[in-house]
Chains A and B, each alone.
Chain A
Amino acid sequence: MSEEHLKTTLKALKERFGLRDSELMKYPPTLMVEPEKIVEISQVLRDEFGFDFLCELTAVDYWPEEEPRFNVIYGYYSHANNVRMALRMPLNGDQPSIHTIEGVYRGANWHERELWDMFGIKFEGHSDLRRILMPHDWEGHPLRKDYPLGYEEPQFTFNYDEIDKRKHHSHYEEA
């Protein structure tokens, strides 16, 4: 029953929106989608096919590649049919901007805030697009691949003054 539902859903989506399968995703079954269609497809998935639960929303950075620079992954689950599927959305460029699906799934709110915080993907129409995990005055988006991992040099007796001088830089005093 549930497997059939998944098959019909995938088939219908492919026919209606011209989507194709993603080769990368091993589980769950995934389709590739364009950024313009995501709100419409989410609406259709929720209302017509019963995928009423957004279980996952995350992104991957493929830097230094520019096309696509990012992939955004949407995971859906249907409580009525007990099936899971996902959509993968390639995004080009350094400052991507897509439309929010908060209107369809309210739970997407914090997911999208996290993506803005960590990857710098902008969600148009989002009700409250602030940083969520990092401090509000943080610069950069930490989960991007061009963002350095960063280490703090431990302060010992022999290099105490050297690091202390760096600490009292004007840049630090502002914070």
Chain B
Amino acid sequence: MAEPLEVNYQELKHLVSERALKGETVLLNMGPQHPSTHGVLRLLLELDGEVVVNCVPDIGFLHTGIEKNMESKRWELAEVMTDRTDYLNNTGNNLAYCLAIEKLADLDVPPRAQAVRVILVELERISNHLVWLGTHALDLAAMSLFLYCFRERESILDIKEMCSGQRMMTTFFRPGGLWRDTPVEFEIAVRRFLRMFPGRIKQYGALLTKNPIFMDRTRNIGKISAKDAINMCLTGPVLRGSGVAYDLRKAQPYSGYEQYDFMIPTGTHGDVYDRYLVRMEEMRQSLRIIQQALDKLPYGPFRSNNRKYVPPPRAELGTSMEAVIHHFKLWTEGFTVPKGAVYLPIESPKGELGYYLESNGGNQPYRIHMRTPSFINLQALPLLCKGHLVADLVGIIGSVDIVLGDCDR
């Protein structure tokens, strides 16, 4: 019987410095059950006193084989699994998947569906940043903010529930549009949220932005230069905190983002504090986008009229034989996507979320790969935390904003 510890030691020998082998530095295991690692992330820390000399992230505790599973499901059923990857950004995952299928199949999306998609995705961005803000502040010992953030998040979840019947795993976006039209209360609820939220952001800012303890613990911590960030393939607020204005909503707009007027906040120092500022400003910009999208929300169909991909409305089934056939075909064997491959990224709250889809012309995907922002951003962690204290490490992990479900898939 092999000693598990011995195997690990030999395997990790090349990852630690010479000093660790001589016993001058301490190897410390952090996680996977540590509350501040935001899920099941395990870190192998090499410590010189309290200073982190090196850090080796160990992921995969939440690997559920989603990509493999999706390959054996039909296109429309596989979408349900995309919700489960990044569980704080469900609609965003659906959007990326649907956009990739729509690109592959040349499927049109009516303007109303696009606008509703934008509203829901931006609400989701706010909700994601609220969870991030609450837990990040909690890690840095600002307890009360956590409760406020989850209170506001609840109203966003209510809006999602109103639309789709589900608070989190909505699968509300379907290839070609939406599952159903939004209810009448939708606009009222979103407007109520828009009125309420700016004041709340001000309150969060008042608690943290000029707070000397918070500033001490975040400024000049976890710095990364723009050049390094690009070379490490970082995206999202981590990259923008370093001063690179890369946001796919502006750079390569999708779902009609080009119609809306908003800014991309960027930082200057690339430290934890700048990432905090970037995310706070992003929430305000998201509010602007929602406001504009809601003001010019067009009326009309909420999903495409292409019957090869989108089921016919219920009312048509009683009068049209063709509709019955389409309905039967879609529910028994699903739709087929023409042979081809596509890589399509969107801007998720954490960074570039890209779906690589490949179809061999059948009703199941041949290969799906998710380029998830948490996975790629996490690999910069050793670079970010070198030379900082263990206590700062917690803040740095929080500032990268990872979701381990997104990371391990």
Residues of chain A touching chain B, judged by Cβ–Cβ distance below 8 Å, are: 24-28, 52-56, 58, 60-61, 73, 75, 79, 82, 84, 86, 105-111, 114, 118, 128, 130-137, 142-143, 147, 149, 173-174
Contact = CB atoms under 8 A, between A and B. Distances in A.
B84 interface: no
A173 B4 CA distance: 13
A105 B252 contact: no
B233 A107 contact: yes
A136 B366 contact: no
A134 B103 CA distance: 32
B14 interface: yes
Contacts of A118: 67
A11 B53 CA distance: 46
Given A55-B233, A107-B376, A133-B60, 4 more contacts: A28-B343, A52-B230, A73-B341, A107-B231
A91 B379 CA distance: 27
B11 A136 contact: yes
B340 A110 contact: no
A130 B354 contact: no
Interface stretch (B137-145, B178-186, B276-284, B367-375): B367-375
A108 B230 CA distance: 12
Contacts of A26: 103-104, 340-342
B131 interface: no
Interface in B50-68: 59-60, 63, 65, 67-68
A113 to B, nearest CB: 9
B2 interface: yes
Contacts of A111: 376
A134 to B, nearest CB: 6
28 contacts: A25-B342, A26-B103, A26-B340, A26-B341, A26-B342, A27-B103, A27-B342, A27-B344, A53-B233, A58-B367, A60-B341, A73-B343, A75-B343, A79-B230, A105-B233, A107-B232, A107-B376, A110-B379, A114-B375, A128-B14, A131-B60, A132-B60, A135-B60, A142-B65, A147-B68, A149-B69, A149-B72, A174-B2
A106 B356 contact: no
A143 to B, nearest CB: 6
Nearest to A173: B1
B339 A24 contact: yes
A131 B324 CA distance: 49
A58 B356 contact: yes
B76 interface: no
B408 interface: yes
Nearest to B100: A27
Nearest to A127: B14
B321 interface: no
A149 B66 CA distance: 11
A132 B407 CA distance: 11
Contacts of B344: 27
Interface string B230-242: 1111100000000
